[in-house]
Amino acid sequence: MDWTLEVVLIPTSDIDRAVAFYRDQVGFALDHDTRNEHMHVVQLTPRGSGCSIVIGDLPAQTEMAPGSMRGLQLVVADAAAARDELVSRGVECSEITVFDERDGGTFFGFADPDGNTWAVQQIKARAAHPLIPVEARQRFGAEQEG
């Protein structure tokens, strides 16, 4: 039996500000934004990822202090290009650090407006061999073709 990590809750103080940051600046896809008289819950997914983030005002989300999530990690094939993309969208990023010359040893980081922190790791092998093949990617709620 597979056990897949598919959702991580991110504590935020302002849902709309967080959506704007993750969707418009970081480039995550907006899977859904559900609002009613009882809740506001939003799910966003990084391009190529099988794991999404969820922000909202349900008890599981509001029990964590905004900005308390540390060390979430994204993986990209080219750290310099990824950093340039984020900086061009107004995301403040750390400089790139090479801890090890082997693939997987290059990192930079950024934080969301609440202070939740992210590390971005370069694994060049992802360019030729993505973790989730392009043909297997389906957006949340998308109708299957074929």
Q: What tens digit of pLDDT does each residue of 6-21 get?
A: 999 999 999 999 999 9
Q: Which residues contact 112 (CB under 8 A, 6 or more apart)?
A: 10, 12, 18, 21, 22, 67, 118
Q: Which residues of the chain have pLDDT under 50?
A: 141, 143-146
| Model pLDDT, residue 145 | 41
| Model pLDDT, residue 143 | 46
pTM, rounded to two decimals: 0.89
Q: What is the distance between the alpha carbons of residues 70 and 116, in angstroms, rounded to a whole number?
A: 6
